[in-house]
Amino acid sequence: MMIAKILALTIFIVMFVLIITDKIEKCLVTLCCGLATAVLVFGLSMHSMSAFTQTLNVRSIFTLGFWYEAGSSSESTSGVNWATIIFLAGMMVMVEGMAKAGFFRWLCMTIAKLVKYKVIPIFLTFMVMSFVLAMFIDSITVILFLAAVTVELAQLLKFNPVPIILSEIFCANLGGSATMCGDPPNIIIGTSLGYSFADFVTNTGLIAVISLVVIVAYFYLCFRKEFGKAGTDVDISKMPSPKSAITDKKAFAISTVIFLIAVALLITHAQTGLTVAFIGTFIAIITLATSGKNAKAILKGVDYKTLLFFIGLFFVVGGLEQTGILEIFAQFIGKVSGGNIMVMIAIIIWVSAIASAFIDNIPFAATMIPVIKTLSATTGADLSVLAWTLAMGTDIGGSATPIGASANVVGTSIASREGYPVTWGKYCKVAVPATIIVILISMVSIYVRYL
Amino acid sequence: MGEQLIIAVSREFGSGGHAVAQLLSERYNIPLYDSNLLEDIANQKNLDAQALGRYDEKSKASFFTRSVRGFSTSPEENLAWMQFKYLKGMADEGKSFVIVGRCAEEVLKDNPNLVTVFVLGNMENKIHRIMERYQTTRDKAAKLIEQQDKKRKSYHNTYCQGKWGDSRNYDLCINSRLGVDKTTDIIAHFIDSERA
């Protein structure tokens, strides 16, 4: 068993190093490491077919509980989290349909028009829009469109788009922390530990909204002088019309309705009993069924590499779980904290935040879930409190650096490609204090509310 | 080959490739783009050319960068893509120009009016040229050549399928040992023969 432990940990470390160096496609890294876990850890070291099938976890898909849960949900399965993968795939199909119809560009242009193309109001409303959209849609898509429109408006209104893009990125990550479907770590936490959309909204959501108020004020104070008199002498009639963003009116109307259905299903999933896997599948089916000949193009636009990345990742983490390494880590945290929940929360939130600032927060969250489960079982700490702590730490920590979260990479890249390079220094100067502020708000909120 | 003419010149450091590009630009009376390409972009987009220049023709750092769906945090990489896009735009508009470096032989490979050249040189000639230009010692010149070529290779091979200096990627690979003028004449003869 010792050899299995060493191998599982080695594979895990190799996977992380390869992800950080960014030389090999991430999905290839996790899939190869997943395969190595299957062969070296489960096969050659453990000789355990059951460890392999448990981690592969395909059987769970064919159970009723995977699609529909009467009463409270309890999807505490280990191994590959198929619910997360299926849900993400479904949402990707929906978002692809919305993007093709011009929904996001239309929304950004409409809001810019509503505030009469004034730079400071655009700055403030785009932050809030970024937060709200990221609650339901992956932050990459949100930033992809928001940053592109910001650059377009910057060129028309002659202002530097970087402050607005940096603020949008931060608010997208913050919005993602507010709901179960906003950020991949939350989906993994929710599906692995059996929490609902409403659980997230009433816990991490509340912290996120309080943080948003503070953060909007923070970014306003940081950047208010940057814009000067930009946009004051612009002929509004010459600005692009929001309607021009709509590529297909019918597809636009349908994709908007599907989006609203998805939001309604997610908000009510604890009441209806429909799991996120069901919602993802249903949304994907209706998107494809209503998109006619565009269905093929929509399917082509799905980010399969991310889905494969998840499968490999869950397998490698499954190796750590099956060999008991994560239990050892949990016991270590328990010992360091002396069983004191306040210390435990502080350790989890700060370690998660600092780690997520430099490494992908998805593998980190996936690794930490079994750890907090063990921690809760062995120390008696409330699992939900640890889950909200982990969610806020991983979701917000990623905002601190340009490489911490996918939205940061996409946003800074869009700005750079238009001639506004964003260096580490420029990014961190505003993002690190903002991250510390939100982590402190989260920690204090958790202490005050749950202890 | 039509009226448009784009000459993409890649070169070893110290080979005189840049001077050759300059002479070709004068001979065909078409603009020369090298680092001034950034100034052009900056003027058009109202950007700070000096700030952008820091990332020009540099390979991205291995650590502390991350890519997501084809987007990267590396300013060097993003600047490179911005220049590639601009070059493609100019080529699509039918403009004629000489472009030095910037992976142009691959970026513009679909343009039928493109001529690609790689200028190399004998080590001895390159060292003498660099010693003269930078008023430096032989050892320092040799080291500089090695360093600069390594950088150019790394930059090029980051963005291109074809390898830097591989003869299969260029219409013409030429050693500049006959001197800048004669090298230019030979390239021009090749271009004129093809356009005739």
What is the predicted pLDDT for the residue at A50?
A: 87
Residues of chain B whose pLDDT is less than 70? 1-2, 62-63
Question: Using CA of residue A340, residue A345, residue A346, residue A348, what is the dihedral sign?
Answer: positive
Of B51, B68, B69, which is closest to A421 when you measure between CB atoms? B51
On whether any CB of chain B is under 8 Å from the CB of A356, the answer is: no
Which of A43-47, A284-288, A429-433 bottoms out in mean pLDDT, i.e. has the lowest?
A43-47
Residue in the block written with tokens 């074809």:
B162
pLDDT at A328 over 90: no
Nearest chain B alpha carbon to A415 = B78
Inter-chain residue contact B72 with A421, CB threshold 8 Å? no
Which residue of A166, A403, A427 to mutate against B (max B Cβ within 10 Å)? A403
Q: Looking at residues A252-258, what average pLDDT do you find?
A: 93
Chain A residues near residue B82 by CB distance under 8 angstroms:
416-419
Nearest chain B alpha carbon to A422 = B75
Q: Looking at residues A124-143, what average pLDDT do you find?
A: 94
Which of A98-102, A229-233, A281-285 bottoms out in mean pLDDT, i.e. has the lowest?
A229-233
Inter-chain residue contact A419 with B41, CB threshold 8 Å? yes
Which residue of A17, A20, A21, A22 to mutate against B (max B Cβ within 10 Å)? A22
Inter-chain residue contact A422 with B71, CB threshold 8 Å? no
Angle at A91 between CA A88 and CA A95, to 5 degrees: 135
What is the predicted pLDDT for the residue at B152?
A: 92
- Domain residue ranges of chain B, discontinuous segments joined by +: 6-195
What is the predicted pLDDT for the residue at A201?
A: 95
Calculate how close chain B gets to A369, using CA atoms only, in Å.
24
Give exposure, A346-381, as e/b (b: 16+ Cβ within 10 Å): bbbbbbbbebbbbbbbbbbbbbbbbbbbbbbeebeb
Which residue of A29, A417, A422 to mutate against B (max B Cβ within 10 Å)? A417
Residue in the block written with tokens 């502020």:
A437
The question of ipTM being above 0.85 is answered as no
Chain B residues near residue A21 by CB distance under 8 angstroms:
62-63
pLDDT at A228 over 80: no
Inter-chain residue contact A418 with B42, CB threshold 8 Å? no
Which of A73-77, A150-154, A195-199 bottoms out in mean pLDDT, i.e. has the lowest?
A73-77
Q: How far apart are CA A315 and CA A13, in angstroms?
A: 14
Inter-chain residue contact A403 with B82, CB threshold 8 Å? no
Chain A residues near residue B46 by CB distance under 8 angstroms:
155, 158
Inter-chain residue contact A410 with B47, CB threshold 8 Å? no
Task: Label residue A70 by pLDDT band (50, 70, 90).
Answer: low
- Spell out the residues 6+ positions from residue A118 whose beta carbon is closer than 8 angstroms to its own: A231
pLDDT tens, residue by residue, A257-280: 999 999 999 889 888 999 989 999
pLDDT at A204 over 90: yes
Q: Which of A36-45, A188-197, A214-223 has the highest mean pLDDT?
A: A214-223
On whether any CB of chain B is under 8 Å from the CB of A68, the answer is: no
Tell me the one-letter amino acid at A302: V
Residue A160 CA, distance from chain mean position: 27
Of A23, A402, A420, which is closest to B73 when you measure between CB atoms? A402
pLDDT at A17 over 90: no
Chain A residues near residue B88 by CB distance under 8 angstroms:
none
Which residue of A162, A413, A420, A423 to mutate against B (max B Cβ within 10 Å)? A413
Mean pLDDT of the residues in chain A: 90
CB B131 within 8 A of CB B137: yes
Inter-chain residue contact A406 with B64, CB threshold 8 Å? no
pLDDT at A59 over 90: no
Of B41, B46, B66, which is closest to A158 when you measure between CB atoms? B46
What is the predicted pLDDT for the residue at A71?
A: 54
pLDDT tens, residue by residue, B93-130: 999 999 999 999 999 999 999 999 999 999 999 999 99
Inter-chain residue contact B63 with A155, CB threshold 8 Å? no
Half-sphere exposure of A145 (CA within 13 A, CB side): 25
**HEC readout, chain A:** CHHHHHHHHHHHHHHHHHHHHCCCCHHHHHHHHHHHHHHHHHHHHCCCHHHHHHHHCHHHHHCHHHHECCCCCCCCCCCCCHHHHHHHHHHHHHHHHHHHHCHHHHHHHHHHHHCCCCHHHHHHHHHHHHHHHHHHCCHHHHHHHHHHHHHHHHHHHCCCCHHHHHHHHHHHHHHHHHCCCCCHHHHHHHHHHCCCHHHHHHHHHHHHHHHHHHHHHHHHHHHCCCCCCCCCCCCHHHCCCHHHHCCCHHHHHHHHHHHHHHHHHHHCHHHHCECHHHHHHHHHHHHHHHCHHHHHHHHHHCCHHHHHHHHHHHHHHHHHHHCCHHHHHHHHHHHHHCCCHHHHHHHHHHHHHHHHHHCCHHHHHHHHHHHHHHHHHHHCCCHHHHHHHHHHHHHHHCCCCCCCCHHHHHHHHHHHHCCCCCCHHHHHHHHHHHHHHHHHHHHHHHHHHHC
Spell out the CATH class of B6-195.
alpha beta
Higher per-residue confidence, A71 vs A387 = A387
On whether any CB of chain B is under 8 Å from the CB of A402, the answer is: yes
| Bridge partner residues of B9 (DSSP) | B100, B117
Task: Label residue A6 by pLDDT band (50, 70, 90).
Answer: very high
